[in-house]
Each structure stands twice: as structure tokens, then as C-alpha cells.
Amino acid sequence: MLTRLPLAPLALAVLTLLSGCKKLQGAPLTKKGEPVKLGCDAPIPAALSHEEGRAVDYVVTCMVPVHTSLTIGSGTALVFQANAGFVVEQGGSLAAKGTAAAPITMTGEGGARWHGVHVFTAAPQNELTFVRIKDAGTARVDWKGAILATGEGALTVRDTTVEAADTHALAVTDGGKLRAVERSSFASKGDTPALVSPDAIGKLAKNSFKGGAGASVRVELTNDPPRGDQTWAKLDVPYRIAAGRAVQLVGKQTFSPGVTVLFEDGAGLVVHGALVARGTPTEKIRFRPVTSGSARHAGLALVEKGNVLEHCEIAGGGADKSDDAGNVVLSGDSGGADLTIAECLLEGSGGYGLVAHGQAVKQGANVVFRSNAKGTTKP
């Protein structure tokens, strides 16, 4: 005689089995205490968090695309396999917010070199706060940077440390925006701990930048000059202006005592606003070529009134060797420029030490001209 099972318990058993299957399909198959793998073959969770007892919370196996909002909670530990990372693309954002007591950590698996956190969106949520990044920055096609904002990318960085970056620890390029960077340190194994656009310069104060021999913060050329006053703060390393042509700056540019600006061949600064560089006897402000010698860079072109140079050294300008080439050139355009200069050395120009173009120059004590190819000044 066949015994019939009651339908209700049988249906409940089937539903329970199906529900369990769905749970298995939607969650990583990991044992308690083991890290969760994040790859490119399935969407990643919207929130990553630390689980008590796990030394590593997540292993990132590829350059994971982020197309929605991703948050990373305090204390979360992530390791990245070689050439892995996060790339925040169309529609995506990344908010990684640790705390002083529980920072977020991002390191290479067994010291593996990984790409980093690359941001291509302007989402206001894009932020790294109390994050510790190590072993990142290996190049990905044309993009380099342990932390990178490029194209439309914009982000905020606070209380964050980048160690042992392969290339740039911080890169803000090709239209990328740095909303703020505060109390952070950036260290590269190479010579460029940071590559930034000109409008990021005024945000770099009170952060640390370190690298290998000859390290500098490199300022790249942009098609649209930044607008607004900014201060070039003294950093651990010099600023370095990229080769090719002059960087255009709109607004007052103030250089702090002790600042050094290095120019690659053919580079220069054109300031559409006052340039104010007041050094001190013990902390001179220096504008010099990367490669020593005369006529290496274009020099300083000053377009408006209110320019001041005190306790400074300017060398190696006048690269084009034209009749109007010099270490410092005042604009003769409508309205003109003026300059107050004292306690400065101008040397090694391919043209003149100073080209005035008929503009007002107030020369104070101890202005020294030396080894300028065409002479000291051109009125």
C-alpha cells in the first residue's frame, strides 16, 4: 500500500531547498574566517566591511569595474593580486572611509604589484579617508597611479597613506580634479610621488611627498589654464614643470619661502596675475632647470601688475634665444606688468637676465646678473 505524503510539508521542503540554492548562488562560497574573493565575472557587493576574526576580508583578483555606489567600511582589509585594483567608471562611485583607530588597508597579495584605485567619475561620494595603500601604482595602459583621478574623475583624499608605489603615489591628470587632499603622505619608489595638473598645486600644503633620487611633484601641461589664486607651499620635494611649453596660470601665484621649481627643457610659467615670491636669506625661492646649464627653459613670463621677487635665484631661462628671451620677461601688452625685485640672482639665460618691455621695474639691493648670453637687462 502506497503512503501519500502530505502536500504542505512536501512543498515546504522543496521551497527550503530552492531557497538554499539561491543563497548559495548569491554569496561567495567561503568558510567563516576566510577572505571573500572579488573578481570580474560577477557584480561585487555594494558594501564591503570587516568581519571580526578575519585577517583579510577580501582578495581582489582583477581590475574590478565599479559602476554603482561602492562603500568600504572602517577596518576592512583588502589584498590585491597582481594587476588588480578598482576602476570607478560610468555611474560608479567609491567611498572608502576608515577611522584613525580602524583604517582601511589595501595591499598587494604577498607583495604583488597592483594597479591601484582609478577614478573616472565626478561623483561627490568619491573619497578615501584613513586608507593605507601599499604596493600599488603599476602601470595600466596609459594610466599610472596608486590613486588616480583622470578624465572626469574627481575625489577627496584625507588622512591617507600610500607606500612603495611603483609609479605615482598620487596622479591627477587629463582633466581630473582633486577636491581636497589633507594630512596624507605619498611615497613612490620612483622619482615622481605625485603627478598633478596646475589647479591642484594650491591643495598640496601640509601633505608629505617622498620618492627616490631626484624626486619631485611633477606639474603636467593642460589645455585649459586653472583660474584662481593659489599658494605654492614648500614641500618635501621640488615642483617640476613638464617639458614642451609654458604652463599658463590665471590668478595670483604666491610662492612660499624655500620653494624650488624645476623646469624640464622648454618648459616655463606664464602668470596672468601677480607672481609673489618672497623668500628669506635662509630660505631662498629657486627657479632652475632640471638639467644644469644655460638656456634650458623658457623662464617666467609676467603679464599683470603686482609682481614681487625677493631672495630668489632664477637660472637657465631664455631657451628660445630670441631677442626677447630671458629668465624673467614682463609683458608689453595693454595695461602691462610691473616688478619689484631685490636680493635675487639671475643667471645663465640664453637671452637677457630680465626683459622689461618698457614696463616699470623697481630694482632694490643686491640684484645680481651673471652669465646671461645677451646681457643683464633689456629695457
In this structure, are 94 and 121 located in the same domain?
A: yes
DSSP-derived 3-state class of residue 237: coil
Structure confidence at residue 127 (pLDDT) = 99
With a cut of 60, say whether residue 9 has pLDDT above it. Answer: no
Of 182, 203, 220, the residue at which a domain comes to its end is 220
Instruction: Single out the residue of 14, 41, 13 nearest to residue 28, CA to CA.
Output: 41
In this structure, are 50 and 150 located in the same domain?
A: yes
Give a yes or no: residue 13 inside a domain.
no
| Domain containing residue 375 | 225-379
Give a yes or no: residue 172 inside a domain.
yes
For residues 357 and 332, give the distance between their C-alpha atoms in angstroms, rounded to a whole number: 5
For residues 293 and 315, give the distance between their C-alpha atoms in angstroms, rounded to a whole number: 8
In this structure, are 215 and 230 located in the same domain?
A: no
Between strands 104-108 and 307-315, the pairing is unpaired
Q: What is the pLDDT of residues 155-191, one digit of tens each?
A: 999 999 999 999 999 999 999 999 999 999 999 999 9
In this structure, are 234 and 206 located in the same domain?
A: no
In this structure, are 86 and 121 located in the same domain?
A: yes
Give a yes or no: residue 119 inside a domain.
yes
For residues 328 and 318, give the distance between their C-alpha atoms in angstroms, rounded to a whole number: 8
In this structure, are 63 and 176 located in the same domain?
A: yes
- pLDDT, mean of residues 357-367: 96
Tally Cβ neighbours within 10 Å of residue 111. 10
Our count of domains for the chain comes to: 2
In this structure, are 207 and 265 located in the same domain?
A: no
Q: What is the pLDDT of residues 188-201, one digit of tens each?
A: 999 999 999 999 99
Please state, in angstroms and as integers, the Cα–Cα distance from residue 123 to each residue in 118, 153, 233, following that order: 13, 8, 28
In this structure, are 142 and 194 located in the same domain?
A: yes
For residues 41 and 196, give the distance between their C-alpha atoms in angstroms, rounded to a whole number: 34
In this structure, are 353 and 235 located in the same domain?
A: yes
Give a yes or no: residue 196 inside a domain.
yes
Q: How far apart are the first and last CA of the chain?
A: 119
Structure confidence at residue 309 (pLDDT) = 99
Percentage of the chain exceeding pLDDT 70: 91
In this structure, are 136 and 285 located in the same domain?
A: no
For residues 289 and 300, give the distance between their C-alpha atoms in angstroms, rounded to a whole number: 12
Of 220, 235, 260, the residue at which a domain comes to its end is 220
pLDDT-derived band at 331 (thresholds 50, 70, 90) equals confident
- pLDDT, mean of residues 130-136: 98
In this structure, are 296 and 335 located in the same domain?
A: yes
- DSSP sequence for 163-192: EEESS-SEEEETT-EEEEEES-EEEESSS-
pLDDT-derived band at 30 (thresholds 50, 70, 90) equals low
Whether residue 303 contacts residue 271, with contact meaning beta carbons closer than 8 Å, is answered with: yes
DSSP-derived 3-state class of residue 25: helix
pLDDT-derived band at 334 (thresholds 50, 70, 90) equals low
Q: What is the pLDDT of residues 198-232, one digit of tens each?
A: 999 999 999 999 999 999 999 998 777 888 999 99
14-41: burial string, b at 16+ Cβ within 10 Å, e else: eeeeeeeeeeeeeeeeeeeeebbebeee
Give a yes or no: residue 358 inside a domain.
yes
Give a yes or no: residue 337 inside a domain.
yes
Whether residue 335 contacts residue 309, with contact meaning beta carbons closer than 8 Å, is answered with: no
With a cut of 50, say whether residue 300 has pLDDT above it. Answer: yes
Of 164, 199, 220, the residue at which a domain comes to its end is 220
In this structure, are 286 and 179 located in the same domain?
A: no
Structure confidence at residue 16 (pLDDT) = 44
